[in-house]
A and B are shown apart, each in its own frame.
Chain A
Amino acid sequence: MIELRNVSKWFGDFQVLNDCSTKVAKGEVVVVCGPSGSGKSTLIKCVNGLEPFQKGSIEVDGTSVGAKDTNLPELRSHIGMVFQNFELFPHIKVIGNITLAQLKVLQRDEKQAGEKAHALLERVGLLDQADKYPAQLSGGQQQRVAIARALAMDPIAMLFDEPTSALDPEMINEVLDVMVELANDGMTMMVVTHEMGFARKVADRVIFMDEGRIEEDCTKDDFFGTPRGARAQVFLSKILQH
């Protein structure tokens, strides 16, 4: 479904991604972790072309992301993305956030889009918030709306960039629960997160990044079970402490 081959990227002289290769098969859940600044966000943004890369190739569902003639908006409309800071559009109501791209990109009509939005709001437990503005919701609620917004496009895969790290601790679980459910429904997911509980529960594979490199890329059991490279060990011991 998603395949990265030898992807390298530079910001000026600084190399953020160094020869990264990995695959996410259909229905697979892959967790990406690693220290701050290791390039996780950059990597995941390369997958839907939000960040250009200079070397290597990325294919999503058979389409090359980096190719000049790729219709990026069309490709992105099939890949959902959820951000650390939710990024709901503040000037439109929750319902409008979920219908916007359905109307403008998928050309669904108001009725279809509205029904879809309501169904998804029900799924994330926020049906009663449809007519509020994003700033009137809690962080956890906003992030669940953001997930509903992405799902409204019927994506073939979902990308998450630290979806819970801007949340107060008591709200983390309501978002993770939605994500676990999604994973159990068979969604293809690439998730940047430090929530190792989530990784343990639903991940098929774990990728560990450091200084722009994919240092570990293995099954969940291998990652948590057998001793890994020194850097991954240090990282794991740090985040598993709390």
Chain B
Amino acid sequence: MNYNWDWGVLLQEPYFDWLVSGFSWTITVSLVAWVLAFSLGSIVGILRTTDSKFLRAIGTGYVEFFRNIPLLVQMFLWYFVFPELLPESAGMWVKRGMPMPEFTTAAICLGLYTASRVGEQVRAGILAVGIGQRNAGLAMGLTPAQVYRFVLVPVSYRIIIPPLTSEFLTIFKNSSLALTIGVLELTAQARQIEEYTFQGFEAFTAATLLYICVTSIVMLIMRVVEGKAAIPGMISLGAK
């Protein structure tokens, strides 16, 4: 193979700026999507553990819908199909009118999809805490909402820190799919550098290292968080 290595190209203008800008879009899409996924996922997961058949059905419906369609297809559905289903003016607004249509669509799509996965983790966590804790809370006169607020949520979220961390890392990696609808995030910028300079190896190596860097930092932080949140004396709830 006759390849001309040139790492210097990454530091040249405008390619360095492209990488920086791509990296910031990747981070922004991931964070916005995560805020949505975490909030909505918490609601969906909690709904699936309530007493009400109706609320449970809403939660289950949500999870089944979003989990069973490939993310890439969802991306296209939101970007190309969804605006056409709206009344014309609203459809136009979604396509062009709203601020940064590609970014917004990508972040929402990724957030809605990941919410279904977060919801499953939350549900599993609450079920692991168990009916006994719920009954104990209710028996002392707490309302069902208070039982969630003071018992089920604080205990279950501690248990699910590891799977939630991995969901966040997945969102971060999945954010690269945003390039398919035109968001110039990290992967897209690496590809663009490749096209302009033919130094694809350098560009994608840089992108890869940036992804690895962020995932490692997140894992380190979450390990500290997990340690801080650990309940003294308790090895695992499952051992109870």
Contacts and interface: CB of A to CB of B under 8 A. Distances in A.
Contacts, number: 83
Nearest to A89: B151
Contact of B231 (A77, A100, A133, A137): A133
Nearest to A74: B141
B180 interface: no
B77 interface: no
Give the interface SS of chain B, mostly helix, strand, loop or mixed: helix
B154 A73 contact: no
Q: How large is the interface on A (under 10, 10 to 19, 20 to 34, 35 or more residues)?
A: 20 to 34
Interface in A65-104: 72-74, 76-81, 83, 85, 87-91, 100-101, 104
Contacts of B138: 50, 72-73, 76
Contacts of A76: 138-141
Contacts of A137: 233
Interface string B139-163: 1111100100011001100100000
Contact of A50 (B139, B150, B155): B139
A153 B141 contact: yes
A129 B209 CA distance: 50
B140 A105 contact: yes
A219 B142 CA distance: 35
Contacts of B136: 81, 83, 87-89
A47 B30 CA distance: 50
A135 B232 contact: yes
B229 to A, nearest CB: 9
A156 to B, nearest CB: 12
B135 interface: yes
Nearest to A133: B232
A60 to B, nearest CB: 13
B35 to A, nearest CB: 24
A101 B233 contact: no
A32 interface: no
A153 B240 contact: no
A133 B231 CA distance: 8
A150 B234 CA distance: 23
A100 B141 CA distance: 11
Contact of A83 (B132, B232, B233, B240): B132
A149 interface: yes
Interface residues of B, number: 24
Interface string B107-150: 00000000000000000000000001101111111110010001
A133 B233 contact: yes
Contacts of B135: 45, 50, 81, 83, 87
A134 interface: yes
B58 interface: no
Nearest to B51: A52
A80 B132 CA distance: 15
B139 A79 contact: yes
A104 B148 CA distance: 13
B237 interface: yes
A153 B143 CA distance: 15
B141 A101 contact: yes
Contacts of A80: 139-140
Interface in B179-198: none
Contacts of B154: 91
B240 A101 contact: no
A5 interface: no
Contact of B150 (A79, A100, A134): A100
Given A83-B132, A135-B233, A89 B155 contact: yes
Given A45-B135, A83-B136, A101 B142 contact: yes
Most B C-beta atoms less than 10 A away, residue of A78, A91, A105: A91
A50 B235 CA distance: 29
Given A91-B231, A149-B140, 16 more contacts: A72-B138, A73-B141, A79-B139, A81-B135, A83-B132, A87-B132, A90-B237, A100-B140, A100-B142, A101-B142, A104-B146, A133-B232, A135-B233, A135-B234, A135-B235, A137-B233
Interface of A: 45, 48, 50, 72-74, 76-81, 83, 85, 87-91, 100-101, 104-106, 132-137, 149-150, 153
Interface of B: 132-133, 135-143, 146, 150-151, 154-155, 158, 231-235, 237, 240
9 contacts: A48-B139, A50-B135, A73-B143, A77-B141, A81-B135, A83-B136, A89-B137, A133-B232, A135-B232
